[in-house]
Structure 1
Amino acid sequence: MPQKLRDAVVVVTGASSGIGRATARMFADRGATVVLAARRAEALEEVATECRNAGANALVVPTDVRDEDQVRRLCQAAVEQFGRIDVWVNNAGVAMFGRFEEIPREIFDNVIKTNLFGYVHGARAVLPVFREQGHGVLINNASMVSYVGQPYTSGYVASKHAIRGLGESLRMELMDAPDIHVCTVMPATIDTPLFHHAANYTGRGAKGMEPIYPAELCAATIVQMAERPMREVFVGNSGRMLARIHAVAPGLTERLMARMVERNHLRDTPAPHSPGNILAPMAEWTGVSGNWRNEASDGRSGALRLGLLGLGLAGVACLGWHLVRERRPEPRWRRALPRQLRSRRRRGWV
């Protein structure tokens, strides 16, 4: 059944900028009560004012999601103030760039603590509330790299793969609670301050990798999932395309992604090593946009090049796979199967 958003109580972590800020404002525009969480209290107050100007109730709860006690207090504050929680959006996240062996251990560990354990802490806090009230939607904002890895961001990629796996496991455990839903959002490159805030140990400047999509597109997807929960949704055709290519040609996809990151995610200009906002929040870049779309040469042409290349690679890979399969003799164990099972095996049923 669709979730009615008017007067729903929605918790959004990482609400001080980027996707979180856009999502909070969009929920407020739909009449929901929003509970805003992030490390930057001043920026949260700005978002709360925008939400109240839209006619919504807004509660600010400064929270560092790495600390489970703080996340538990965030959940308690929402329940005490509004009586329930209808939607919880795990969104707080940080990014890093650098070769795996060159990233400081403290930076790598805190990326995992924020991106993965921050979501774990949110789920641990809110799922008992959902079970008690009999309903709720947990939305985990992951990334297209939940399916397809990329170089220089190993900690980020590992955390996003884990978030997708966490969602799958939770859905299985919640089969006895049909009105509690766990959704995973997988955006492609989104125009947010994430890359301005990222730790960087490559010696080169980082930027958004084309094609770049507006944060409002991701926010609209999250709001839609709150109304009509879905298991997993890509935001941006580039992520969906890369996942499909990866399914049939993982080796080619890895080489494609490595080349794209080298040419389009890192600048040729030097940049000093920086921990970014990993260990402590940055005062700068509290808005929704990171201005990456304005800087991009041509997002549409980038998407077109990616799509055409992806279709070509996928077509070649599928053709080669089918040719090899047709020429390969049928294994003895399969010839011994009953005709009905052999037919199902060909269709991928068993």
Structure 2
Amino acid sequence: MAEVVVVTGGTAGVGRATVREFARAGADVAILARDQGRIDATVAEVQAAGARALSIFVDVADGAAVEAAAERIEQELGAVDIWVNNAFAGIFSSFMDMSEAEYRRVTDVSYFGQVHGTRAALKRMLPRDRGTIVLVGSTLAYRGIPLQSAYCGAKHALQGLLDSIRPELEYRDSKVHVTMVQLPALNTPQFDWARAHIRPKPRSVGRIYQPEVAARAIRFAAHARRKEVWVGYTTVQAIRGDQLASSLVDEYLAATGVEGQSSGVPIEADRQDNLFDPVPGDFAAHGRFDDRAHETSWQMGLNRHRAAVADGFAAGTLAAGMDWLLRRRRG
């Protein structure tokens, strides 16, 4: 029987790529999003892959609406096996230039949206004692950066949610699994439709990956039963760097973090953003950085096969040790 997968924010960026990834693997997918046109286009892609699709128009900031969506999914597609909490909102702005309403909206979507999805999924998975919930995080769940305090705060909060829920499930001896995927910078439409209080167009900093890299990692995490999956060597670099020398990272970001997120190209006067309402148009998965986005991650390849890598490292170390011992004895 096909897996039943829920993807919030499933019509663009990482969400759209994740829907495609699961559909190609034969899963039936429920797509939760706010723009009906993009929902219809995404449903057509799932059906073209030979899978069933269910479209639900919903704002994940509305907990009651998410709960109603979960009920409908189970009635029409069947018991949910995997729930991917992907929807988010962001704003490029200094902390003091944001209004309280803007800050709260980012938090309501990016944090409480995942809380609502997790609660709706657990309500159904716990009695069955099976299922997986994927929290979609970011490098910024560990290391905040300038101009994105609302988004970084939401992702940090998700880290606390993960750390709290997992021992509760273990205490219950539950087989329900909750995991979090920490993503790097990605080539998605967010840079063209996130609200911005900066004059130049925002851009990604550092190495950037295609959303398909994230989608493959999310599907992997949904089945690997690990607490976290870090994607991209830049994610590992940022998290470990902050753990080792957080104050030095502060100084580095003070010098580079603001200008580094500015493209130098002025924002269009008629630019629309999706903070409170969706931007019309089928933006699909990719953003405007196809010319420099990487389609693979060698770090993720090693991550998928870490047991074999560890065995190979151990075998190599043992062989080197034996060679050294033999040469010592001969000498």
TM-score range, shorter chain: 0.7 to 0.9
Q: Is the 8 A contact 2:191 2:201 kept in 1?
A: no
SS in 2 for 1:174: helix
**2:240 maps to which residue?**
244
Distance (whole Å) between structure 1 residues aligned to residue 16 and residue 290 of structure 2: 18
Q: Distance in 2 between matches of 1:180 and 1:259?
A: 44
Counterpart CA distance in 2 for 1:249 and 1:284 is 43
Partner of 1:289: 286
On the 8 A contact 2:134/2:179 being kept in 1, the answer is yes
Select 1:98's aligned residue among 93, 102, 117: 93
Give the match for residue 328 of structure 1. none
Name the counterpart of 2:129.
134
* Higher mean C-alpha deviation, range 253-262 or range 226-235: 253-262
Q: Work out whether residues 142 and 163 of structure 1, in 8 Å CA contact, stay in contact via their aligned partners in 2.
A: yes
Cα drift, residue 275 of structure 1? 7.1
Letter of the 2:154 partner, please give it.
S
Query: In terms of mean alpha carbon deviation, does 180-189 or 275-284 score higher?
Result: 275-284
Query: Contact 2:38 / 2:281 at 8 angstroms: preserved in 1?
Result: no
Alpha-carbon distance in structure 1 between the residues aligned to 2:254 and 2:91: 16
User: Residue 59 of structure 1: which of 54, 57, 63 is its match?
Assistant: 54
Deviation at 1:252, TM superposition (A): 1.0
Map 1:66-77 onto structure 2 (within 5 A): 66-77=61-72
Q: How many residues align?
A: 294
SS at match of 2:280: coil
CA distance in 2, matches of 1:162, 1:274: 30
1:279 aligns with 2:308: no
Name the amino acid aligned to 1:38.
A
Quote how far apart the aligned CAs of 1:274 are: 6.8
Aligned equivalent of 1:45: 40
Alignment of 1:154 with 2:149, yes or no, is yes
- 1:158-307 superposed matches below 5 A: 158-175=153-170, 176-271=172-267, 276-284=273-281, 286-294=283-291, 296=292
Whether contact under 8 Å (1:199, 1:274) holds in the other structure is no
Is 1:35 equivalent to 2:7 in the alignment? no
1:86 and 2:81 matched = yes
Structure 1 counterpart of 2:318: none
Alpha carbons 1:201, 1:273 under 8 Å: kept: no
Shift of 1:26: 0.6
Percent identity among equivalent residues? Answer: 30
Match of 1:119 in 2: 114
Distance 1:165 1:275 in 2: 33
**Residue deviations 1:267-305 (CA, integer Å, cap 9, x gap):** 2333369772111000145210002242x4x879xxxxx
- Give the equivalent residue in structure 1 for 2:105: 110
TM-score, with structure 2 as normaliser: 0.85
Deviations 1:46-86 (A, max 9, x none): 11111111111111011100111110111001111133110
Q: Name the CA shift for 1:111/1:60 in 2 (closer, same or farther; >3 Å).
A: same
Question: What displacement does 1:10 show?
Answer: 0.3
Q: Is the contact made by 1:212 and 1:293 (CA closer than 8 Å) also made in structure 2? A: no
Runs ≥4 in structure 1, deviation > 6 angstroms?
A: none
Q: Distance in 1 between matches of 2:264 and 2:213?
A: 30
Structure 1: stretches of 5+ with no match in the other structure: 1-5, 301-350
Instruction: Provide the alpha-carbon RMSD of the alignment.
Output: 1.9
TM-score, with length taken from structure 1: 0.80
